[in-house]
Amino acid sequence: MGASRAPTIRVNRAGGAVVAALGALLAVLALPIAGAELARRPAEPVVAELRAGAAVEPGALARLAAASRAALAWRPDGPGRATLGLVDLVRARRADRPVPHLEAAAAYLRASLRRRPADPHTWARLARTRYRLGLPARDVAAALRRSLATGAYLPRLAPARAALALRLWPVLNRDGRWRRELAEGWRRQPNLLTRTARATGRSGVLGRAVTHGSAARRRVR
């Protein structure tokens, strides 16, 4: 009996050691994620306010930037760079000299996309940053196209993308997807799209896109 139990005991001990080693490995792998989450969590309300378009005070922006850098120290492949890019975009809107903030935003956004290339939010922000920096229309349009083509379709991005598309229309007008995006953007924020169309002299472009989009929805119904 003793001889027959010995191999079983050794196997059980070996199996237990393997399980313990795997558990330790998983704990080590999870530590950066947990550390990044703990570093980022205090700033989550600020991110929510920015996404909702609320005015965020400079102190809150500074706390968000600090939390994002702390999270990156734990997890270099996390979303911290994209958040830092967003912070600099907001600072650029408020600055007398916006270019340094825009250049910093572009650098953060590009670095984020190298690690997380399937993020339509970040591509859209990069397109907007390039536009505000006065880069060539083809460079702005390249980022805007990636926003529409990358990842799942996010209708809430349509108004901002459509407004920028109107400004870049000669570069984008051959792609039918942008007419659909104009229609969706107008459906969600008609005042923004109407103002942009008037400012760019493209009210006719928007009107045709909206009419076509409405007709398409009626056919689907």
Q: State how far the Cα of 37 lies from the Cα of 129, in Å rounded to an integer.
A: 27
Q: How far is CA 157 from CA 25, 109, 163, 181, 202, in A?
A: 39, 17, 10, 9, 20
Q: What is the pTM of this model?
A: 0.77
The string of DSSP letters for 162-195 reads HHHHHHTHHHHTT-HHHHHHHHHHHHH-HHHHHH
Q: Which residue from 150, 156, 148 is spatially nearest to 177, judged by alpha carbons?
A: 148
**Cα 15 to the center of its chain, rounded Å:** 44
- Tens of pLDDT, residue by residue over 24-66, are 444 444 444 444 454 456 667 777 787 777 778 888 888 888 8
Residues 6+ apart with CB under 8 A from 47: 64, 83, 86
pLDDT class for 6, splitting at 50, 70, 90? low
- Tens of pLDDT, residue by residue over 67-111, are 888 878 777 766 889 989 999 999 999 999 999 999 999 999 999
